[in-house]
Amino acid sequence: MNRRLAASAAVLLLLTACSAGSDTDDPDVAAQAPSATATASATAAPSPAPSPSPSGTVVEVTYAGGQVTGVGPRVPVKLGEQVVLRFTSDVVEEIHVHGYDLYADLTPGQTEEISFTADIPGSFEVELHEAGRPLFQLRVAP
């Protein structure tokens, strides 16, 4: 029994001695041994956030001469899908995607994009905000 007690005391003594060397209040010790957090962050590359869907939808919309082209009145997308709405216009305007509350400023002759994950199911109007002119309805469903 005395051998077990002696062995346990020796292990306890070793553990105590090892933990005493990790005191970062001592500037010499802190400079010599980086913390586990610092080591992990220096060696482990951050993993990218998982994408909701491996595929996505790009919707190309043109507004010129008062007409909408490139889309029909309803644009279906899958729930969880990455969506890119790409707009060109011949007028200065603001695009508004209802429900997602997303906006983009349009400048004639330039392409503007709104990118988002379609994570809210339903039907959402996409409009020229200042004119109150609907362009199409975005339908998000599983």
- Rounded distance, CA 104 to CA 88, Å? 11
Query: In Å, how far are 2, 76, 113 from 59, measured between CA atoms?
Result: 79, 10, 10
38 and 60 housed in the same domain: no
Count of domains forming the chain: 2
Question: pLDDT (tens digit, 0 to 9) for every residue of the chain, 142 residues total?
Answer: 544 444 444 444 333 344 344 343 433 333 333 333 333 333 333 433 333 444 689 999 999 999 999 999 999 999 999 999 999 999 999 999 999 999 999 999 999 999 999 999 999 999 999 999 999 999 999 9
Residue 134: CATH number of its domain: 2.60.40.420
81 and 125 housed in the same domain: yes
- Rounded distance, CA 135 to CA 123, Å? 13
Q: What is the pTM of this model?
A: 0.61
69 and 125 housed in the same domain: yes
Residue 13 resides in a domain: yes
Q: Which domain holds residue 67?
A: 56-141
- Rounded distance, CA 9 to CA 3, Å? 10
Residue 50 resides in a domain: no
68 and 131 housed in the same domain: yes
Residue 49 resides in a domain: no
123 and 69 housed in the same domain: yes
Q: Which two tokens stand for residue 46?
A: 């951050």
What's the confidence (pLDDT) of residue 96? 97
37 and 100 housed in the same domain: no
Place of tokens 């586990």: 36
Q: Which amino acid is at 92?
A: V
Query: In Å, how far are 7, 85, 89, 116, 124 from 102, measured between CA atoms?
Result: 67, 11, 18, 9, 11
78 and 109 housed in the same domain: yes
38 and 69 housed in the same domain: no
Task: Give the other-Cβ count within 10 Å of 95's Cβ.
Answer: 22
117 and 60 housed in the same domain: yes
Residue 121 resides in a domain: yes
Residue 86 resides in a domain: yes
Residue 64 resides in a domain: yes
93 and 124 housed in the same domain: yes
90 and 117 housed in the same domain: yes
